[in-house]
Amino acid sequence: MLELMDRGELGEFLRSRRALLQPSDVGMPAGARRRTPGLRRFEVAQLAAMSPDYLARLEQGRGAAPSVALVAALARALRLSHDERDHLFLLAGHHGPPAAGPDEHVSRALLRLLDDLATLPALIASDLNVVLTQNALADALLGEQTPQRGYARSCTYRWFTDPAFRARQPVDDHEDESRAQVEDLRATVAARRGDRFATGLVRALRAASPEFTRLWTGHGVAVRRSDRRRIIHPVVGLVELDFDVLATSQGQRLVIYSPAPGSEAVGKLELIAVLGRERFATADPHRAP
């Protein structure tokens, strides 16, 4: 944490970036005629999952210093460039994000694609399987995946260390899923040669999971571009979807889940969209529909 937060500059910068965005830039309907340019304050707050009142105080130069996580959420909501994001961190009284580990500043190109997807679950993840952001339907289908720390940010790490995370898929699928996770990770580690987070992730997994160690020593390698995934939702039960990586940018991937036309999964996704996000920590993932 730096000594000073520049409240005045921070407020002006936030207002100026908000004025540059249109609803279509972030996948929102334009709605009624707007008297001022740019997004409304509550729309940015919605995108950043924060209080509109707190955002108003920040823009007016009188809010308390935002946390690192909140600054990162604002940078994503405002579609900031790398330089703009680092500037926002400094104005908020923080050092910029560390260079080590996966880049968590989401590519503008991928964000635009994600914004255009509303009827299919979609997310943006790093090549180390760190979920950076996801749309509302992915949130409803998969549960919250982003507020993690350390190696647990990687879904690959949680797959091999967190039984509740694995319980989202049928036991019969676990071996194939484990193998696919390991093969994709090996390809990424080779591409990221010398990356401390990547090598540390492998080291931590080998220490924590005999299953991972067994598969890792087999030296299988394959970039995961598509697959079939069966997901156990706590309300509607088993949902079978295609899993495709449709775009990549700077070590990040746009992942989309889609049902086969005419399949039972089509109706289940529609129901999930109505239900909204379930709290996976308290729901029984094996409960029947």
Give the per-residue pLDDT at 262. 94
53: confidence class by pLDDT, cuts 50, 70, 90: very high
Query: Has residue 287 been placed in a domain?
Result: no
Within a domain: residue 288? no
Q: What share of the chain in percent tops pLDDT 90? A: 48
131 with 39, same domain? no
pLDDT of residue 207: 97
Q: 116 and 251: one domain?
A: yes
Query: Is 171 in the same domain as 224?
Result: yes
Q: Quick one: pLDDT at residue 164?
A: 93
Q: What is the pLDDT of residue 286?
A: 41
Under 8 Å CB-to-CB from 204, ≥6 apart: which residues? 151, 157
One domain for residues 26 and 67: yes
Percent of the chain with pLDDT over 70: 88
Residue 131 pLDDT exceeds 70: yes
Q: Residue 282: inside a domain, yes or no?
A: no
**Residue 103 counted as domain residue:** no
Q: How far apart are CA 256 and CA 191, in angstroms?
A: 23
Range of the domain at 151: 108-275
Same domain assignment for residues 128 and 270: yes
Question: How far is CA 47 from its chain centroid?
Answer: 13
| Residue 121 sits in the same domain as residue 221 | yes
When pLDDT is averaged across residues 230-254 and rounded to a whole number, the result is 90
Last residue of a domain, one of 57, 91, 125: 91
Are residues 130 and 270 both part of a single domain? Answer: yes
Looking at the fold, whether 120 and 261 belong to one and the same domain comes out as yes
Whether the per-residue pLDDT at 279 is higher than 50: the answer is no
The answer to whether position 37 is within a domain reads: yes
How confident is the model at residue 116, as a pLDDT? Answer: 81
* 123 and 81 within one domain: no
- The residue with greater pLDDT, 24 or 201, is 201
CA dihedral of 183, 184, 185, 189, whole degrees rounded to 10: 100
Domain for residue 246, yes or no? yes
Region 120-132 average pLDDT? 92
Which CATH number do you get for residue 53? 1.10.260.40
Total number of domains in the chain: 2
Contact (Cβ atoms closer than 8 angstroms) between residue 233 and residue 239? yes
- Which position has the token pair 């991937």? 253
Domain identity same for 265 and 125: yes
Q: Determine the Cα–Cα distance for residues 153 and 157; give it in Å rounded to an integer.
A: 8
> What is the average pLDDT value for the chain, to the nearest integer?
85
Span 69-124, pLDDT tens digits: 899 889 888 988 777 888 888 889 887 665 444 556 777 778 878 878 888 999 99
pLDDT digits (tens, 9 = 90+) for 175-226: 999 999 999 999 999 888 778 899 999 999 999 999 999 999 999 999 999 9
Residue 47 lies in a domain: yes
Q: 200-203, long-range: CB within 8 Å, 24+ apart, which pairs?
A: 200/151, 201/128, 201/151, 201/154, 201/156, 201/157
Rounded (10°) angle between helices 68-77 and 82-91: 140
Residue 140: which CATH number? 3.30.450.180
| pLDDT value of position 242 | 95
The domain boundary, picked from 35, 63, 91, lies at 91
Q: Which residues contact 173 (CB under 8 A, 6 or more apart)?
A: 229, 230
The half-sphere exposure of 285 on its side-chain side, counting CA atoms within 13 A, is: 18
Question: Is residue 238 domain-resident?
Answer: yes
Statement to judge: residues 48 and 127 lie in one domain = no
Q: How far is CA 89 from CA 166, 178, 249, in A?
A: 35, 37, 23
Is residue 270 pLDDT above 60, yes or no?
yes
Q: How much is the pLDDT for 280? A: 46
Q: What's the pLDDT at 278?
A: 52
Asked which of 34, 59, 91 is the last residue of a domain, the reply is 91
The segment with the largest mean pLDDT, out of 40-44, 157-161, 248-252, 271-275, is: 157-161
Residue 75 sits in the same domain as residue 114: no
| 134-140 long-range contacts, CB within 8 A, separation 24+ | 136/273, 136/276, 136/277, 137/269, 137/272, 137/273, 138/257, 139/277, 140/272, 140/273, 140/275, 140/276, 140/277, 140/278
